[in-house]
Amino acid sequence: MATGTLNIQHYLKEKKEIVDRALEEYFPDLEASSQGGDYSLSLRRAIRHSLFSGGKRIRPILSIAAFEAIGGRGNCILPFACGLEMIHTYSLIHDDLPAIDNDDYRRGKPTCHKAFGEALAILAGDGLLTEAFRLMTQNSSADPKTVLNIVHEIAWASGISGMVGGQVVDIESEGKEVSLPVLEYIHTHKTGALIATSVRTGVILGGGDAETLQAFTRFGEQIGLAFQIVDDILNVEGKAELLGKSTGSDVFKNKATYPSLLGMEESKKRALSLMESAIQSLHSFGPEVEPLKGIARFIILRES
Ligand code: GRG
């Protein structure tokens, strides 16, 4: 792909369709295909409600873009790409629960617990997290050592050392004065870790060397932090109709965010500078990394 010829909107749409199709295959609508009779139908309904409610599929697309950037071809990335999206979806379902953020709407639709009740929403999240690991380790055409490496990596980024750990510090910081290092810890763990790991997954599966992995990791870490800073900004300045949820919740909950700590202008500067550094991290690569650079720009410019 030659520099300057990439239409990132078109690229994201094309890859999202690939991810959506694969997820449909893993979680088919059993009712529509008249394969009812499954006692877990209500659970599948709750999972499908959240999995197919209009997510951007940024994490799976990043894994595919990184995989293809280093020469990876074929569908062997899809179970990992979909696994990452399933883990992301579980985190959103649990994050919306009354015990955590208590949100009624996500992506313009009732949250999982609003539509199906708390018990089913908790179990839908649990089901997605567990199924993600089953999917990633099932019938893989990849070398078993590579699969083990990726699964370990994704578990690390999703768990105590990553997303769940960051979420705990986030909750415990509500209503308190938080320093910039603590806020950065929250953002890089709660959101950044899974994003950086999505990029790393593509490189590891594609067999990238240590130098490539290091450069792509740096890229992933920088866009991961930028992603959450932009999320903070959108919570203040975003349009509710585009976000599919109300804005202002961070201020209402007295949450530490980049705008609350550094102000809006400085937050925007930080996000922009992280995006530029991320792109710079890939300076030694050619046109094959254009989609990744396009995604970095998209993260900064997004409205939802
Ligand atoms: C285990 C009870 C329990 C809870 C876990 C881990 C966790 C709760 C929450 C994760 C933290 C979290 C939800 C971080 C927010 C990350 C974020 C910016 C989400 C929005 O991502 P987008 O914009 O969403 O990619 P779409 O809608 O496009 O999929």
Give the model confidence (pLDDT) of 123-182 as tens digits: 999 999 999 999 999 977 899 999 999 999 999 999 999 999 999 999 999 999 999 999
CA of 177 to the centre of ligand 1 (A): 23
Question: Residue 96 Cα, ligand 1 centroid: separation in angstroms?
Answer: 9
Q: For the segment 78-127, what is each residue's pLDDT rounded down to a tens digit?
A: 999 999 999 999 999 999 999 999 999 999 999 999 999 999 999 999 99
Is the CB of residue 238 below 6 angstroms from any atom belonging to ligand 1?
A: no
In this predicted structure, the answer to whether residue 1 has a pLDDT above a threshold of 50 is no
Which 8-state DSSP code applies to residue 109? E
Mean pLDDT, rounded, of the chain? 94
Beta strands per DSSP E along the chain = 105-106, 109-110
% residues pLDDT > 90 (the chain):
88
Measured from the Cβ of residue 14, the count of other Cβ atoms closer than 10 Å reads 11
Render pLDDT for 227-284 as a digit per residue (tens, 0 to 9). Answer: 999 999 999 999 899 998 888 989 888 899 999 999 999 999 999 999 999 999 999 9
Write down the pTM of the prediction: 0.95
Residue nearest to atom 6 of ligand 1 (CA): 164
Contact 64, 15 (CB under 8 A): yes
Could you tell me the distance, in angstroms and rounded to a whole number, from the CA of residue 1 to the centre of ligand 1? Answer: 32
Question: Which residues share a beta bridge with 14?
Answer: none
- The alpha carbon of 224 and the centre of ligand 1 are apart by a number of angstroms equal to 12
Q: Give yes or no for a contact between 128 and 90, defined as CB atoms under 8 angstroms apart.
A: yes
DSSP result, 12-81:
HHHHHHHHHHHHHHHS--TTTTT----TTHHHHHHHHHHHTS----HHHHHHHHHHHHTT--SSTTHHHH
Instruction: State yes or no: pLDDT of 5 exceeds 80.
Output: no
> Pocket of ligand 1, candidates 52, 59, 87, 91: which has the most ligand atoms within 8 Å of its Cβ, to mutate?
91
